[in-house]
Structure formats: structure tokens, C-alpha cells
Amino acid sequence: MTTKSLSADTRPVVREAEPRDHPRIRLLLNESTAQYRAVLPSRVYHAYLDDLLDLDRHARDGHLLVATRETQIVGSASFYADTTVQHMGWPSGWSGGRGLAVHPAARRHGVAQALLGRCERLGRTVGSPMFAFHSATFMKEAVRLYGHLGYIRLPRYDTDLAAHYGAAGEASLPVLAFGRDLTEAVRHG
């Protein structure tokens, strides 16, 4: 990734990923999650990464999105019209996001915000009342960002990452639920 691709005047473009993008997305996911290797138990980290890297499933069950700057993929996320396909305890009918990743060199340049905005628009398009997603407590920068962007906490839908990946005996790894009421966004935005 070059410094030029991160210039402040170059806004990220979000589009549907194509199969030819998958190798670059996998590299991005590996690079953006590497910092969590030291935080997570090995078994959980590898299950989490394997889940994120299953791009065929994410594209089949939802929309696999990429954010680009000057043709370089700098971010990715999955959008689900009905987030129950994630098996994370969400109510039927809500839309959701999963696996939001931004290349470390592209952070703080509007990439995550652009991806989230696209997910919200897709949620409104399918008539979803809520756009929801999880973020782990150890993802401190992401948790701060979601609060800054006005997402509300939905503690009722918090879950445990270790339990989700069947890592019995591992310490609890809380993941926090966030969301945005899409019906309110239409009325006020």
C-alpha cells in the first residue's frame, strides 16, 4: 500500500467484491487481524480467522463488500439482509454486518465509515428496521469509533466469542452488540 493511496482527498469507493478480489481480501483480513493473535487464545483466533476467510460463504449468504482507494482494496465487510444467518443470536428481520476490516495503513481515513454507510443503505433497501453487528472488547479502537459514529449499544445481544467458536474451557471473550435504528435514520436523515 502506498502513501499516495491514502491521501486525505481520496475518498474510499465501496463496491461489491468480485471473486477475483478474494485473494486480496484474504490478505487484508490476515493483516488487519494479526494484532489480535497475541490477545486471543490460539484456538479461538484460528477459528475466528477461518470464519472471516470463508469468503465464498459470506458472499453466498450476503453481500461481500470492498472499499478501494485508487484501485487498491483497503477495507472489506460483509452485509447480511437477515443477520440470523450468522448464528450470533440476532432477531429475525434485522440486517447486519460482519468482518469489518481496514488495512492498518488506511485506518482513520473514513474507510470503516464508508463501509458501514453502505451496509446501512443496503439495510434500508431491504426494509430492515435495524442494522446490527458485534465488536470484541479487545478491539478498543473499533469500539470507540462505533460510539463516535452514533451506534447504540445493544447489551441484550452481547455474546461470547469463545463460546461461539466452541472453545470450551477458554476464558470468556465478550463481544459487544451495536446497532442503528434504520427507521429513525430515514426519518431524520
Residue-wise pLDDT for 106-154, tens only, equals: 888 899 999 999 999 999 999 999 999 999 988 888 999 999 999 999 9
Q: pLDDT, tens digit, for every residue of 81-93?
A: 999 998 888 999 9
pTM of the shown model? 0.88
The full set of domain ranges for the chain reads 4-188
In Å, how far are 6, 124, 168 from 114, measured between CA atoms?
14, 15, 36
**Superfamily name and number for 4-188:** Gcn5-related N-acetyltransferase (GNAT) (3.40.630.30)
Query: Can you say how many angstroms the Cα of residue 183 is from the centroid of all Cα atoms in its chain?
Result: 21
